[in-house]
C-alpha cells in the first residue's frame, strides 16, 4: 500500500476536532508530525482559540445545604477532561476562583492564610504562592501571560504575572501587588 505524502497527511490531521485530543494522541503514535512546532502552529491557526474545557461553579453560601457542600466545583464541558488537582475535589475544596485567562486559572485557598494557586488545566501543573499579609483581603486579582509577543493560544509553561488589589482590614488602605514568574528560576 503506497504511503500518503506528508503534506496530505498533515491536511487530514489538521481537521481532527480540537475537543477530541485522544484522536490526536492516537494519531501521534503513527507519525512524529505532531511534534513539529510548525504543525502545532498550523493546528492553532486552523481551529482558532482552544475549546472551553470546563468551568468553575461557585455556589453562594445561601445555596449550600450541608457543611460538606463545597463552595467550588470544576465542571467539564468537553469529551476531554482536564487534569483536576486533588485539592480541587468537589468534596474537599476550600478554594475559590479569582480569575481565568490565557490558559491558566488563579485560585485562592479560603481555609487559612491566603494562599494563591495558579493552575494550568491542560498540563495539570500548579504553582503555589503565598498571598499578602493576613491583615489584607484580596478584593480582586488577575493572572496574565508574561511572554512578549504571545498570541495567547498556547501559553502553557510560559511565564505569567499575577496582579492583586488588596485592602488592609485594620487601616482601610488599598494596595496593589504584582508577581511575575520566572522559568529560569523555576517559579
Domain assignment present for 119: yes
Q: Do 63 and 137 reside in the same domain of the chain?
A: yes
Q: Do 179 and 113 reside in the same domain of the chain?
A: yes
Domain assignment present for 160: yes
145 bridge partner residues: 160
Mean pLDDT of 105-121: 79
Q: Do 71 and 155 reside in the same domain of the chain?
A: yes
Per residue in 28-54, pLDDT tens? 777 777 667 788 778 878 887 666 666
Q: Do 67 and 112 reside in the same domain of the chain?
A: yes
Q: Could you tell me if 102 and 155 are in contact, meaning their C-beta atoms sit under 8 angstroms apart?
A: yes
35 CB contacts (<8 Å, ≥6 apart)? 28
Q: Exposure of 87 by Cβ count < 10 A (0-12 exposed, 13-18 middle, 19+ buried)? A: middle
Q: Do 60 and 29 reside in the same domain of the chain?
A: no
How confident is the prediction for the chain on average, in pLDDT?
Answer: 72
Report the distance separating Cα 166 and Cα 27, nearest Å.
Answer: 48
Per residue in 63-98, pLDDT tens? 445 555 555 566 666 665 555 666 665 555 677 788
- Which residues constitute the domain of residue 179? 54-185
pLDDT of residue 118 exceeding 80: yes
Q: Do 115 and 180 reside in the same domain of the chain?
A: yes
pLDDT band at 185 (very low <50, low <70, confident <90, very high): very low
Report the distance separating Cα 131 and Cα 110, nearest Å.
Answer: 11
Which grid coordinates belong to 175?
494596595
Amino acid at each position: 500500500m503506497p504511503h500518503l505524502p506528508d503534506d496530505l497527511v498533515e491536511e487530514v490531521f489538521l481537521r481532527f476536532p480540537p475537543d477530541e485530543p485522544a484522536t490526536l494522541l492516537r494519531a501521534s503514535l503513527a507519525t512524529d508530525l505532531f511534534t513539529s512546532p510548525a504543525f502545532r502552529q498550523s493546528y492553532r491557526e486552523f481551529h482558532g482559540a482552544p475549546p472551553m474545557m470546563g468551568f468553575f461553579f461557585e455556589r453562594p453560601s445561601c445555596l449550600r445545604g450541608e457543611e460538606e457542600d463545597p463552595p467550588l466545583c470544576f465542571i467539564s464541558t468537553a469529551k476531554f477532561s482536564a487534569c483536576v488537582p486533588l485539592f480541587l475535589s468537589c468534596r474537599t475544596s476550600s478554594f475559590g476562583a479569582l480569575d481565568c485567562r490565557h490558559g491558566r486559572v488563579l485560585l485562592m485557598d479560603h481555609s487559612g492564610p491566603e494562599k494563591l494557586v495558579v493552575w494550568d488545566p491542560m498540563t495539570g501543573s500548579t504553582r503555589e504562592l503565598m498571598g499578602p499579609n493576613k491583615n489584607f483581603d484580596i478584593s480582586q486579582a488577575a493572572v496574565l501571560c508574561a511572554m512578549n509577543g504571545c498570541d495567547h493560544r498556547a501559553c502553557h509553561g510560559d511565564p505569567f504575572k499575577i496582579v492583586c488589589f488588596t485592602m488592609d482590614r485594620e487601616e482601610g488602605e488599598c494596595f496593589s501587588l504584582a508577581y511575575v514568574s520566572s522559568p529560569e528560576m523555576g517559579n
